[in-house]
Chains A and B, each alone.
Chain A
């Protein structure tokens, strides 16, 4: 039993090490020419722009739900006026970034894993190498960078749509004007609430891109393997995001103690 547990821990550490080396290599390759700007931009569009409807709709729904919950709690203390600010702080500091990360690990992680996995098992990655193209740089680095670029932008969108959703929920119950709602929402939100929480999603993007690209490159066993890669990309990048988020939140509180 102990031996099995030990083996499991060792294989887990080995996996984490391999993924970390893969990600480290990607960051190094990203700063070494030649640069694949066109390909990066294409992936930012595919990963970022095409995710906007999902992110916006989810943000709106989360805002509505958060508003209802916040009202239920604050009403008891007669503090309904704090609803917009409470909702904005919750969304901007944590709910928005984490939800965006998890949604993107589902949509983008699965997509990258499946696409690269299919390319691997059909020898398309070998074909890229055969035409003298660095497949790692062309396929993995570009996708990882696109995830890093897209994540903060999508987080800003989910934050805004969430606050807007909160406003829509609030106006159906109270007669609060839009001007008053948004004034109250942003009255206690500061730049140091928004910036670290939004920028930390670049790390989420790095995790999504790295984990799913790594699994795609390691895919074997045909279409069954591609399916497994797709699922694993979502599961593993989601777990990594949730765990790394703990460290990042602690770090943010350490750097910005006044926000704690």
Chain B
């Protein structure tokens, strides 16, 4: 299998604080990779590097062999079009309705007629259980619903690569399981997943491979079973936790 994503010795600092310290990760095409770690260890920053929202101070980020930081505006746009990104706080556009949020990428990147765009947006919202909320404004949704709407927007263009930041945060256990199942379905249909989560049961369910990020460094990686056998205290603490959200 070929690599969909590769982080090669990536280092990133904000002011004097080193957030990522020589991080190397590779994610195979069609697999699900879960990034675990405590808050503030650089998990979201890692995702933002993959989609080119941040550039590494040192090292390289490759998406299907292309160095993201070296791409021109148009090339980067093409790479981004093949990816979907669910932000930690969903980052819905608050001036347009939930349905228009999901329709937004379709309006920008397809020449489909309006009726088809609305149908597809409704279908994506239905996948996350928000089919009745098409016309609501983001401010009218709860945190969990916003998250699901954000996921629907991330999936709007049926991306080959889906980057998901805390998919189950703020969701009730049943909805969280449904979202996990949805992500597993995506993986089965060939989508490459990179999921940032604190939720170990969720990571076990979704991930083919897991990695633990601690103080900006990857301290362990492998399958859930391999990490269960790790002797590292932090990894042990993580794998034994049942933490949700």
A122 at the interface (CB under 8 A from B): yes
Residue numbers in B under 8 Å from A124 (CB-CB): 91-94
Interface hits, A85-124 → B, CB 8 Å: 115, 118-119, 122-124
Q: Which of A68-76, A129-137, A181-189 contacts B (4 or more CB under 8 A)?
A: A129-137
Please, which residue of chain B has its CB at the minimum distance from the CB of A133? B108
B109 at the interface (CB under 8 A from A): yes
- Given the known A-B contacts A131-B104, A131-B153, are A126 and B77 also in contact in the complex, defined by CB atoms under 8 Å? no
B51 at the interface (CB under 8 A from A): yes
B118 at the interface (CB under 8 A from A): no
Contacting pair A127 B91 (CB below 8 A):
yes
Contacting pair A127 B93 (CB below 8 A):
yes
Residue numbers in B under 8 Å from A122 (CB-CB): 89, 91, 94
Contacting pair B81 A132 (CB below 8 A):
yes
- Given the known A-B contacts A122-B94, A126-B48, A126-B53, are A131 and B89 also in contact in the complex, defined by CB atoms under 8 Å? no
Contacting pair B87 A131 (CB below 8 A):
no
Please, which residue of chain A has its CB at the minimum distance from the CB of B101? A127
Please, which residue of chain A has its CB at the minimum distance from the CB of B106? A131
Please, which residue of chain A has its CB at the minimum distance from the CB of B83? A130
Please, which residue of chain B has its CB at the minimum distance from the CB of A136? B73
Residue numbers in B under 8 Å from A115 (CB-CB): 95
Least CB distance, A122 to chain B, in whole angstroms? 6
Least CB distance, A8 to chain B, in whole angstroms? 23
Residue numbers in A under 8 Å from B87 (CB-CB): 123, 126-127, 130
- Given the known A-B contacts A126-B48, A126-B53, are A134 and B91 also in contact in the complex, defined by CB atoms under 8 Å? no
**How many angstroms from the CA of A133 to the CA of B108 in the assembled complex?**
8
**How many angstroms from the CA of A132 to the CA of B89 in the assembled complex?**
19
Other contacts beyond A129-B51, A131-B109: 10, CB < 8 A: A115-B95, A119-B93, A123-B87, A123-B89, A124-B91, A127-B93, A130-B53, A131-B85, A131-B157, A133-B108
**How many angstroms from the CA of A210 to the CA of B131 in the assembled complex?**
40
**How many angstroms from the CA of A127 to the CA of B52 in the assembled complex?**
12
**How many angstroms from the CA of A122 to the CA of B53 in the assembled complex?**
14
- Given the known A-B contacts A122-B89, A123-B91, are A129 and B53 also in contact in the complex, defined by CB atoms under 8 Å? yes
Residue numbers in B under 8 Å from A130 (CB-CB): 51, 53, 80, 83, 85, 87
Interface hits, B14-53 → A, CB 8 Å: 48, 51-53
Please, which residue of chain A has its CB at the minimum distance from the CB of B73? A134
Residue numbers in A under 8 Å from B129 (CB-CB): none
**How many angstroms from the CA of A119 to the CA of B93 in the assembled complex?**
8
Residue numbers in A under 8 Å from B109 (CB-CB): 131-132
Residue numbers in B under 8 Å from A134 (CB-CB): 73, 77
**How many angstroms from the CA of A132 to the CA of B53 in the assembled complex?**
11
Contacting pair B48 A132 (CB below 8 A):
no
Please, which residue of chain A has its CB at the minimum distance from the CB of B51? A130
Top 4 nearest A-B pairs (CB, nearest first) are A127-B91, A132-B80, A130-B85, A123-B91
**How many angstroms from the CA of A107 to the CA of B82 in the assembled complex?**
39
Please, which residue of chain A has its CB at the minimum distance from the CB of B87? A123
Residue numbers in B under 8 Å from A118 (CB-CB): 94
Residue numbers in A under 8 Å from B52 (CB-CB): 129
Residue numbers in A under 8 Å from B78 (CB-CB): 132
Contacting pair A131 B94 (CB below 8 A):
no
Contacting pair A129 B80 (CB below 8 A):
yes
Contacting pair A131 B53 (CB below 8 A):
no
B170 at the interface (CB under 8 A from A): no
Chain A window 151-166, contacts with chain B (Cβ cutoff 8 Å), 1 for yes, 0 for no: 0000000000000000
**How many angstroms from the CA of A132 to the CA of B85 in the assembled complex?**
11
